[in-house]
Amino acid sequence: MNRKEGLPRIESAGLDGWMVRLFERIDEENLAWLGALARRCEAEFGAMLVDLVPSYTTLLVVFDPLRLSPASARQRLAALLVDLEPETVAAGGEVRELPTWYDPSVGPDLERVARHAGMSVEAVIDCHAGREYRVFALGFAPGFAFMGLLDERLEVPRLDTPRQKVPVNSVAIAGRQTAAYPAVSPGGWNLLGRTAAHLFDRDREGFSLLKVGDRVRFVPVDRATFERQGGDATPVECHK
């Protein structure tokens, strides 16, 4: 944390919430601090805590306004920040492998991303699948995990015109983030392929396969393996 930038900072988030901003820049090391603050909030607020929503640089703390005033909640948060130290990130989160079929039929932006990066399609696949990603936040849609950080060579902006329907399980990138769509939805990220993993399940505890702090690896598979694992190989244009 950089106290010269006025951090950490506690910002109003309505009558029942405070947004604690620990950082201004996205970095994997942020998770250790955000996780430590979340654990402290759980212990300090107890039954008065309604929800904790971590993001890349912030932690939203939602409390019960019938049991705790906003001023008192802010005072408690300020005290928790005084001697905050990062927790060991490696000790938390699960390792998740997402079997992924990289192919232009299900990843229509794959070739364009390769041209943008000055790389071959095979090199883009190797680069994307060649590192482990941290889940920084869940949002946009149930089970949608924002992951990073992407190799700088693959950094590419969102589409100028978002697609109206992105097929479920599409693996995509935007900026230095990567994600997999847990349901059919509009989206402006660049599609590289599709995973056979079940990202969202109403019968699963917590619903989402991926959780904040998890480490994720995209594992390339061929079409036959993808379909055998339950993947839908229908081309993107056929989903329109």
Choose the final residue of a domain: 57, 91, 125.
91
192 with 173, same domain? yes
Location of structure tokens 């932690």? 59
pLDDT at 92: 58
Where in the sequence is the domain holding 100, given as residue range(s)? 95-239
pLDDT mean across residues, the chain: 91
How many Cβ atoms from other residues are within 10 Å of residue 158's Cβ?
15
The answer, as to whether pTM is greater than 0.85, is no
Location of structure tokens 């995973």? 195
Choose the final residue of a domain: 69, 91, 113.
91
138 with 207, same domain? yes
pLDDT at 141: 78
109 with 182, same domain? yes
Pair of tokens at residue 79: 């005290």
Q: Pairing state of beta strands 9-12 and 163-166?
A: unpaired
9 with 85, same domain? yes
Percent of the chain with pLDDT strictly greater than 70: 95
pLDDT at 232: 95
129 with 70, same domain? no
Residue 5 has pLDDT above 80, yes or no: no
Q: What is the pLDDT of residues 181-233, one digit of tens each?
A: 999 999 999 999 999 999 998 777 778 999 888 999 999 999 999 999 999 99
Specify the number of domains making up the chain.
Answer: 2
173 pLDDT tier (thresholds 50, 70, 90): very high
What's 26's domain CATH number? Answer: 3.30.1360.40
111 with 222, same domain? yes
Location of structure tokens 């081309």? 235
pLDDT at 52: 86
Residue 239 has pLDDT above 80, yes or no: no
112 with 231, same domain? yes
SS3 1: coil
How many Cβ atoms from other residues are within 10 Å of residue 26's Cβ?
16
pLDDT at 1: 58
Q: What is the pLDDT of residues 46-74, one digit of tens each?
A: 999 998 888 889 999 999 999 999 999 99
Q: Whole-angstrom Cα distance, residue 119 to residue 125? A: 10
pLDDT at 204: 76
> Which residues, 6+ apart, have CB-to-CB distance to 192 below 8 Å?
102, 107, 109, 110, 113, 124, 125, 128, 171, 172, 173
21 with 101, same domain? no
